[in-house]
Structure formats: C-alpha cells, structure tokens
Amino acid sequence: MRDAQFRKPYDRIAGASASIGFSLRDAFRHVFGMLKRWVGYTHFLTRGLPHVGAEISLNVLAYNFKRLLHILGLEEMMKAMRLARA
C-alpha cells in the first residue's frame, strides 16, 4: 500500500507527455544549480554518497537560513529561534 502511494506521482509523470517530464527535470536542475552557484563551487568537496549527502544537506540548511533571514528579518528570526528552543 505504501509503495503504491509513492509510485503514484511517478506514474503520473511517466504517463504525461515528454515535454512535461523535461520541464520538471529542468525545474529541479535549476534549484541545485542555483544552490551550487550560491555556495561558489562546481563540484562536491567530499567523496562517497553518505559524505556528499551530508555536504548537500548542510548547504541546503544554510540556504534555508539565508532565505528565512531575508523573509523575516534578523529580529523576527531570532525571536522564532528563541521560541523554538523553549
């Protein structure tokens, strides 16, 4: 049952036209390309899937903090962090 739930979106994409599939793939490529450009490198600094996964996770966390800072501002972000800690 769980397997069917996870396969459903992929089946929908596979059944769609090729142009939709390419546009979805390009949308994901844009996010990772932008993230890599923001960090300032063109390749991963570590080797091996677990290490690369950790590296990209840290980069995504830093990017999300940067976005949050721009959306909320420093004072609101600090207040939210203090409330989350309590």
Pair 51, 76: CB distance under 8 Å: no
Pair 36, 42: CB distance under 8 Å: yes
How far, in Å, CA of 57 to CA of 46, rounded? 13
Tokens 């004072």 locate to 75
* pTM over 0.75, yes/no: no
Residue-range definition of the domain harbouring residue 60: 44-86
- DSSP annotation of 28: H
The 10s digit of each residue's pLDDT in 11-69 is 665 655 555 555 666 666 667 777 777 777 667 788 898 898 898 888 888 888 888 89
Let me know whether 84 and 49 are in one domain. yes
How far, in Å, CA of 31 to CA of 17, rounded? 22
Let me know whether 20 and 53 are in one domain. no
In the chain, the number of structural domains is: 2
